[in-house]
Amino acid sequence: MTIIGELINGTREAVREAITRRDADAITQLAVRQAEAGADYLDCNVGMIGAAEVELMAWLVETVSRVVDLPLCIDTASPDAMRAGLDACRDGSRPICNSVSLESARLESFLPIIAERQVRVIALLMTDAGVPKGVQERVDAATRLVPELEGAGVAREDTFIDAVVTPLSVDPEGPSVAMEAMREIVAALPGAHTICGVSNVSYGLPRRALLNRVFLSQAIAAGLDSAILDPCDGALMAALHAAEALAGRDEWCGNYLQAYRRGVL
C-alpha cells in the first residue's frame, strides 16, 4: 500500500493559518510526524487560489523538503502552482502530480507540465460534466484518461486512478459505486494503481474515524492499493495492515508482523 500523508492541507484552518504566516515550525512538525508514522509521500496543498497559491506552494514544498526525505505529492488545480511545486521538489525525487482529470481545461494545461518532468500522476475521474455517475462511466473515464497520460510519457505503473469517493452523507451509494469501479478498473487497466482520499467517505457524519477504517478495509478488498490518509491515526493504520493481509496482499503476513513488532497494531 502506498500511503500519502494528508495532513499538510490548507483546507484545514490551522494549516492554512500556518502557511499564511509561513510558520515553518508548524509545517515541519506535521511533515516529521507523518514520515515517522509510515507515510510514503506527503501531500502538499496550500488551500488557496491565485498568485498567493503559486508563491506559497514553492515555500511549502521547500519547507517540507528540508526536514524529510520523502517524495511529495503536489496537490493543486492550478497549473502555475503545480509547476512551482514541482520545480521546488528536490532533485532526483519522483513527486506525484495531484491531479490530472478529463476536464478539458485542466487536461490541456497539465499535460505539457507533466510531459516535461519525471512525475507520477493521480488520474482523477472527473469530466466536464462532473463526477461520473455510475461504475461503467468511471471505467470509461479511466480508459480515456490513462492513454492521455501515457501519451505525455507517464508510465501506467506511475498512474494512480482516483475513482472519486463521494461522501456517504450525501450519496448513500457513492462509496459502493466507487469500490465496484475500482474492481473494474483494476481488471481493465492492469498495471495502473488505484487511490482515493479515505476521509472523503465520512464527511458530515459522526465518528468519522470509524467509518474511515471500515471503508478502507473494504476498499482494499476491492483492489485499492494506494490511499491519501492520516498516517498518524494508529487505529486506521492497524486496520490497513490487517486488511492487506486478509486480502492476500501481504505474503506470509510479513508487513502485518513487522507492524506488530513496531507496536503499530
How confident is the model at residue 49, as a pLDDT?
A: 80
> Which residues make Cβ contacts (< 8 Å) with residue 74, sequence separation at least 6?
44, 57, 61, 81, 82, 85, 86, 89, 95, 96, 97, 98
Classified by CATH at the fold level, domain 94-196 comes out as: TIM Barrel (3.20.20)
What would you measure as the largest C-alpha separation in the chain, in angstroms?
51
How confident is the model at residue 48, as a pLDDT?
A: 85
Question: Quick check: pTM over 0.85?
Answer: yes
How confident is the model at residue 50, as a pLDDT?
A: 84
Report which secondary-structure segment, H or E, holds 120: strand 120-124
Low-confidence spans in the chain with pLDDT less than 70:
none
pLDDT digits (tens, 9 = 90+) for 207-220: 999 999 999 999 99
pLDDT digits (tens, 9 = 90+) for 58-89: 999 999 999 999 999 999 999 999 999 999 99
Contact between residue 50 and residue 16 where contact means Cβ atoms under 8 Å apart: no
| b/e sequence 25-52, b meaning 16+ C-beta within 10 Å | ebbbebbeebbebbbbbbbbbbbbeeee
Write the DSSP symbol of residue 89.
S
Residue written as cell 497494531? 265
Contact between residue 5 and residue 27 where contact means Cβ atoms under 8 Å apart: no
User: Quick one: which of 219, 221, 236, 136 has its CA closest to 185?
Assistant: 136
Q: How far apart are CA 218 and CA 222, in angstroms?
A: 6
Q: How far apart are CA 165 and CA 163, in angstroms?
A: 6
